[in-house]
Amino acid sequence: MFCSIVPPYLLRRVASLREPQLTGAAEAARKALRHAHTFQETREQLAPATPPAPPGLHGAKPGPPERTIYNAGSIEELPGTIVRKEGAPPTGDPAADEAYEGLGHTHRLYTDAFGRDSIDGRGLPLIATVHYGERYDNAFWDGRQMVFGDGDGQIFDRFTKSLSVIGHELAHGVTQYSAGLVYRYQAGALNESMSDVFGALVEQYAKQQSSAEASWLIGEGLFTDQVQGSALRSMKAPGTAYDDDILGKDPQPDSMDSYIRTSADNGGVHLNSGIPNRAFCLVAIALGGNAWDAPAQIWYETLTGGSLSPKATFRTFARATAGTAKERYGTGSKEHDAVRSAWETVKVKL
């Protein structure tokens, strides 16, 4: 399993740049694309599927985090050299310390909000490698650990700067160990959306932001000052995260009216995820308060409850969330009504 935060269509855009002052960024993007293709092929050939945790396991009493941060030293070999372990003081390296704190914030959300014992529900140690590759333009979950590049310095800054990115990638692990959503087409877009949802929740919980106060941006702070854009994606308003002469305009759709049918990007997993992203955001804003309360409980229970098909479509997921809301809060409750209204707004039929 290879799930990265920067979508391939964005890397391809950077890779195609011909401006002399951006040759470094273009080469970094081309290298990231080649790596993603090679890594995905290797994982598909050699790595067995991860067995999901039993549905009831996420209710077990969670333990403390067990974090280990490695430094790859600008080469593409994992995991690297240990630079910080659980309980050790800060290293002074911003990337290593941001990764350490980000893993902790993510673990804390799952512990406090859902009673989940780490990513797999069994107390999985959290591992991250920083300074991966030279000017590597991505961060990814490889099925076992987190990996962060330093960015090219022209388009992308270091990938540990964004807490939502760290939370996003680790959430791929939660999906891997629960519903196991196939990383293609609508199931893959749901997989990406789950990571955006929980990535945003990690950031909001760490900052103690209400749904109204939150930015609902994924990857805020990743772009350098040379880019006209606030983040990689906007959950609140898909398609508005950036509009830049170099990167183009954010192509995410915000409803099924503009659903993108493509074979690229595993069937548009980073594109069409904007539709369920907006649905979750609409629920959270409609209900008010904190998104890690009722909205997140509905999404989390649907994801981890054991009944969701790995090949779930938007419609089956929408029906499942409505069913979860009905079961938890009752027919006609404000939670149930908010979920149904949100899916209707993004034009997903229940």
10 Å CB burial of residue 92 (0-12, 13-18, 19+) is exposed
Q: Which of 58, 168, 270, 336 is catalytic?
A: 270
* 215/236 Cα distance (integer angstroms): 8
Is-catalytic flag, 220?
Answer: no
Q: Which of 98, 169, 192, 220 is catalytic?
A: 169
Tokens of 18: 């011909």
* 57/48 Cα distance (integer angstroms): 22
Helices and strands (H and E) in the chain: how many? 10, 10
Is-catalytic flag, 270?
Answer: yes
Contact (CB, 8 A) for 220 and 164? yes
Nearest to 199, CA basis, from 1, 3, 2:
3
Nearest to 128, CA basis, from 202, 64, 78:
78
Residue 281's region, left for phi above 0, alpha for psi from -120 to 50, else beta, is: alpha
Q: ω before 79 within 30° of 0 (cis)?
A: yes
Q: Could you list the active site residues?
A: 169, 270
